[in-house]
Amino acid sequence: MTSLPLIPAASGAPAARRAAMPPRHLADLDLPGRQAAVTELGEPAFRAKQMSTHYFGRLVRDPAAMTDLPAAVREKLAGELLPTLLTPVRELACDDGATRKALWRLHDGSLVESVLMGYADRVTVCISSQAGCGMACPFCATGQAGLTRNLSTAEIVDQAVYLAGVAASGAVAGSPSRLSHVVFMGMGEPLANYARVVAAIRRLVAPAPEGLGLSQRHITVSTVGLVPAIRKLAGEDLSVTLALSLHAPDDELRDELVPVNQRWKVSEVLDAAWDYAARTGRRVSIEYAMIRDVNDQPWRADLLGRLLAGKLAHVNLIPLNPTPGSRWDASPKPVEREFVRRLRAAGVSTTVRDTRGREIDGACGQLAAAEDTDRDAPPGATA
């Protein structure tokens, strides 16, 4: 296995390179902030509630449809508080329409992805928090692409609002029409964009018209293990689920698969996770991508079981969705079943994630990578 460069201990998480953030949007602000912005534009404060009711309550993102605002007022307020943040590039569906993946171009040309997944009892959206990712996990399409920049709070929220509107339209047959769950498992490391991600969570859970009115317990934030940020999140008075992308129970392998482990070792990351569980009462989800002949050995299942036994944790095994041309592949099903058996024998709650979206470049970053390839290819080339 090729060694990856060490991350200097003093550097912490890699920072996004400087890039122009998008213009201000009402989702960047709480309701008092929107009211202040509206009055600064010479309009009465109640206009902020009107706009917020359209955007968060009715899932209307087009200012032209906000017809209870006078046309001249609407144009002025929309120009300042409702800029276009996400321009659709591709929208693909599979699983009889139950899985829908959207690729967006941002104002600076950056590409991000989000996914809607409909089930019989819920509708979940998976959203991105960064354009690209700086964590450099070698089996991840987004990690291979590197980090472009952090997303703004509104760029994060707007993904959820758009897909909530798709669900509300009845486009996902056999599923509820209301968005119920949001997972921060799209492109990027959420806790490396900490302030904006926490602000986005507060918009998602605030009652309408300030926000979408989702349950905190239906929000999941994924991380590769940025220990200081995990501890900070524990103090935010939020009851969101923490999902720890562990992928290996031993430091030797995790240093390779999750390079930030070179800064914060398995024991440190798990200690922070258990502290989070103790402070919030929320069970930690341990994410573990099953990679053939890399991290799927029986002894690693046994070691993981010993680390997690008796803890407030659940293991979510993820059959790897390999990226095109990658040397990484998913573990065979018999190997996966033995891994599950050993974890359960250790008393650890374990499930295997439902595989969705393989035929629509379902792995995070695949669709953006395909779009970049198409865009950069010479005329007539086939990506």
Residue located via tokens 């003093």: 10
**Pick from 362, 286, 371: nearest CA to 116:** 362
Closest CA to 73 of 108, 102, 38: 38
pLDDT band for position 370 (50/70/90)? low
Which sign, positive or negative, has the C-alpha torsion 111, 158, 83, 153? negative
pLDDT value at residue 321? 86
Q: Indicate if the pLDDT at residue 333 is higher than 60.
A: yes
Structural tokens at position 219: 């929000």
Average pLDDT over residues 354-380: 51
Q: Is residue 267 pLDDT above 50, yes or no?
A: yes
- Lowest mean per-residue pLDDT among 38-52, 136-150, 188-202, 369-383: 369-383
Mean pLDDT of the chain: 90
Contact 295, 248 (CB under 8 A): yes
How high is the pLDDT of residue 372? 54
Least confident of 8-22, 250-264, 266-280, 318-332: 8-22
Q: What's residue 326's pLDDT?
A: 78
Q: Read out DSSP for 96-141?
A: GGTEEEEEEE-TTS-EEEEEEEE-SS-EEEE--SEEE-SS--TT-H
Per-residue pLDDT reduced to its tens digit, 341-358: 999 999 999 999 877 655
pTM: 0.89
| Residues with active-site annotation | 113, 364
112-140 pLDDT, tens digit per residue, is 999 999 999 999 999 999 999 999 999 98
Looking at residue 146, what is its pLDDT? 93
